[in-house]
Structures are given as C-alpha cells and as structure tokens.
Amino acid sequence: MVSEPNPTVRVVAIDDDEQHLKFIAKVLSRANLGILTADNPHQGLEIVRKEHPHLALVDLLMPEMSGLEVLEKIIQFDPNIDVVLLTGQYSTESAVQAIQKGAADYLTKPVDINKLQQRLDLLFSEVSKGRRRLELEKELLENSQFATMVGNSSAMFEVFRQIRRVAPHFRTVLLTGETGVGKELAAQALHRLSPVSSGSFVTCDCSAVVETLAESELFGHVKGAFTGAVRDGIGLFEAANGGTLFLDEVGELPLALQPKLLRVLQNQEIQRVGSPAVRRIDVRVVAATHRDLQEMVKEQRFRQDLFYRLSMVHIKLPALAQRTGDLPLLERHFIDRFAGQYGKRIDGITKRAEAVLARHAWPGNVRELENVIGNACMMTEDETIDIPDLPEYIRNRQAAANHEGNEAPLTLEEVEREHSLRILESVGGNKVRAAELLGVSRTKLYRILGESES
C-alpha cells in the first residue's frame, strides 16, 4: 500500500510475515511518506525496481531468497537506496556481513521504532538537501550560460570575456581548438553580440566543399559559367551579406582558392564565377580550425598572408580535459535539453555514473559528452541516469585502458580511428551522424576508417 500519492520519501518493506508488514506500515505512517509492502522477496524486488525507494526494510530470513541476497540485488540495482536488514535472530557475524555487503543498518525484531523514525528523519533531511542542491545546480547553470555556451571555469570565463569584447567590432576572427570544443557555438555567440545580429548567420564547412565547385559555392556564378550552370546562383558570401559567414575548418580550403578569399576579406568585394562585375558586400567572417595553421604555413599548405588576415583576432577554445570542473554543469545542461526533447522526466545522474564520466578522457570534447548524455537520456527507463544507461565504450573505459597499457603505444592515426569507431558504434553505424558528431566530412570519416565511400 501507499499512504501518499506523491510522497517525499518512499519506503519498501519486504517480509514474509504479513502481520509485521502491517505493523511497520502503521507505525511509520506520516505525512509525505509513501509505504509499499511485499510479502515475498521477488515481488519486493519488482517494487524496488519500479519505485526507486529511498529506504528498503528487508527481513533477513525469508523462503526462496535470503535478505542478504535481496540486499545484494538492490545494491547492484541502485547503491543509493538505503537498505536496513531486520531479523529476530541477531548475530554479530551476520550483522558484520550485512554491513560489509552495503547495508545501511541491521536491526533486531521487535524493531526499535525510535531508530526507524530517526532514520526517516535523516532521509527527509537528505531528500530536502538533494532538492535544494538540484535548485542550486539549475541556478548555477542559468548563471553560467553565455549566449548558447555553457561554462563556469576560468578558462571559459576568459573565452566569454574575449567574445564580449570582440563581438561589437570584429571584421574577421579566428577560432582554434580541438574538434568538438564548441567553435560553432562561439561563432554564433560572436554573431549574436555583434551589430549585425539581425542579419543571417551562414555556415560553410570547408572540409566538405568539392574543390572544383568551391569558388562557385563561396562567390556564386552566372548562367553558362560552367557545365550545369543553367541559371545565376548566389554564393555563401552574398547569402551572408549584412550578417556573418562562418568558415568551419578553414584549414581544409583548397590552396588555389585562398588568394581569392584573401581578396574578398580585404576589399569586401566578390565576383561571381563567369562574371567581370564586382559586387560590394558587408560580411563579418568567423573562421575556425582544429589544425595548426602556422605549421601549415611553414609547410606551404596555407597562405601566410591569409593566416595573418584571419588571425587579426584569435580566440582559442579549451579542450574539455582542460575544464573538467565544467563537467557536472554540462551534464545538467544536456540532461535538461534531452529530457525535454524526448519528453521524459530525468532529474539527474547518479554519483557513480558521474564518477565514470569524470574518469573518461573525452577525446571528442563537448560534442562527445553531448552524444553520450543524449544516448543515456534515450536509453534510461528511470528518472536518474546510471552507469547501465551509458554507452558501452564509456562503461568499459577502465578495462580498455588496462588492456592498452599492456600493448605498444598507439599512433595518432590509430587513436583517431579507434575513437571514430567508438562514436560510429554509439550511433548505430550511422556514418552521416558519426561524421557530424566528430566534426568532419563524411569523406574524411571514410578516409579515417580506411574505407571506400562507394
């Protein structure tokens, strides 16, 4: 039975003695307390799995399954549930064994009602603190959002400070950082805080641009300029006129196109392919890359003058490994987003699942965390994300690390391929989605995996 429809604290009592169950239900009856009873351990475990109680009162000696076995199954299911074992035959040995297996307490029958009431008072206090902590976490999250970005670390505060100072004035900005750190979000923040925020924000993925069509895609073309040009077409610069153009992975831009891009940035003028006419534009440009452009300049794979033009203002975004203090904040942010998206009530994440996420290296940075939390929110059947809800590669991280420790170090290419395979597995083999999460083109993903696109 349940004494309250929406109790603050939920208690499950499991005992083969029905009279004792009635006694427990009667003496513990109080406002905001829900009491459920089961006269056999199997039914009791079903109730525990369904209701996620705060406290389980379990008789030690029952037919079919002992109280210690029930304790083990409850702890395995959710270690945050307090389990108190009850017995009419107290022994020091069984008490020690129960505590070692994770029992919160071990009481003899007839039960000391005062002790149970004290434990309930403690639970009410802990639940109240938990709710207040959740409120504070949400308040902290609200105060740690900058445009569409989230962070409370000193590294992110510095990024926010730079964006705030640069946004009103920039013509070009270079954003650098590892894949998945949030460079597009930073670009959107620059646009939203700029004088052209009411204009268009247009994105160009330079790694996905076909080299033979790159000039047309950026600057447009006139009818008849090349085979298939059956009508005039505007390019991305014209589409972004009066707004912002985001050149993602600018390091992948073909070398032959770079001087034309430089000329547009210097003169704010474009020429459509096949046309001598010059068109004036007013576009702010945010370029981003995970590559070392200075090294590419040395290797003559990127023009030095274009690099200097783009990097007039340079903002470097930190990797997630450099801002691990933001992990709980980001987890809460993504849980709230995906819970709303999937129409689920998900209140948070267990401490042990948090610990697993904290130990992960996050080579895919915030984008990988977003994918992991999104997957967990989809998989969970409870109101709290736990370890079983996490992707397998995250759960097995420690075992994988131990295994790798006995082998020769992996090359960068092998690490990249292994990480790509993990992401691909987490999205069910969908290469388009995997490429999106990794921040690379589908062609590049096939190259990393050593596969042919055909």
Give pLDDT, residue 123: 73
Phi and psi, residue 208, nearest 5°: -100, -5
263: CB partners within 8 A, 6+ apart: 269
Query: What gap in Å lies between CA 320 and CA 327, rounded to an integer?
Result: 8
- The pair phi, psi for residue 20, each rounded to 5°, is -65, -35
Cα dihedral sign, 278-284-290-296: positive
Overall size of the chain counted in residues: 454
pLDDT value at residue 399: 45
Give the Å distances, CA to CA, from 42 to 38, 48, 287: 9, 10, 60
| pLDDT at site 398 | 47
DSSP string, 245-268: EEEETGGGS-GGGHHHHHHHHHH-
At 451 the pLDDT is 64
**Which positions ≥6 away from 183 have C-beta within 8 Å?**
175, 176, 177, 248, 288, 290, 317
Whole-angstrom distance, CA of residue 39 vs CA of residue 42:
9
Q: What is the dihedral of CA 324, 328, 331, 337, to 10 degrees?
A: -130
* pLDDT, one tens digit for every residue, the chain (454 residues): 444 556 778 889 999 888 888 888 888 887 778 889 999 999 999 999 888 888 899 998 888 899 999 998 988 887 778 888 888 777 777 777 888 888 888 888 887 788 778 877 877 777 777 667 667 667 767 777 888 899 989 999 999 999 999 999 999 999 999 999 999 999 999 999 999 999 999 999 998 888 878 888 899 888 876 777 768 888 999 999 999 999 999 999 999 999 999 999 999 999 888 888 899 999 999 999 999 999 999 999 999 999 999 999 999 999 999 998 899 999 999 999 999 999 998 988 887 888 889 989 999 999 999 999 999 999 998 888 988 899 988 887 644 544 444 444 445 565 667 677 777 766 667 777 777 777 677 777 777 776 655 4
3-class SS at 204?
strand
DSSP string covering 21-33: HHHHHHHT--TTE
Residue 421 DSSP class: H
Task: Return d(Cα 21, Cα 86) in angstroms, integer.
Answer: 12
Instruction: Please check whether residue 207 is in contact with residue 161, taking contact to mean a CB–CB distance below 8 angstroms.
Output: no
Q: Distance between CA atoms of 195 and 243, rounded to whole angstroms?
A: 9
CA distance 14 to 428: 41
Q: Which domains does the chain have, with CATH numbers?
A: 9-138 (3.40.50.2300), 149-316 (3.40.50.300), 320-449 (1.10.8.60)
The DSSP element (H or E) to which 288 belongs, if any, is: strand 284-289
The closest of 249, 262, 238 to 206, measured between CA atoms, is 249
C-alpha span between 312 and 132 (Å, rounded): 46
Q: Quick check: 217 and 235 in contact, CB under 8 A?
A: yes
pLDDT at 390 (0 to 100): 93
Q: Residue 347 gets which letter from DSSP?
A: -
The 3-state DSSP composition of the chain as helix, strand, coil percent (nearest 5) reads: 50, 15, 35
Residue 267 buriedness (CB in 10 A; 0-12 / 13-18 / 19+): exposed
Cα dihedral sign for 198, 288, 153, 392? positive
> Which pLDDT value is given to residue 423?
75
User: pTM of the prediction?
Assistant: 0.68
Round to whole Å and give the CA distance between 21 and 57: 10
**Nearest to residue 131, comparing CAs of 33, 49, 9?**
9
Residue that is written with structure tokens 């203002």 in the block: 313
Residues forming a β-bridge with 172: 285
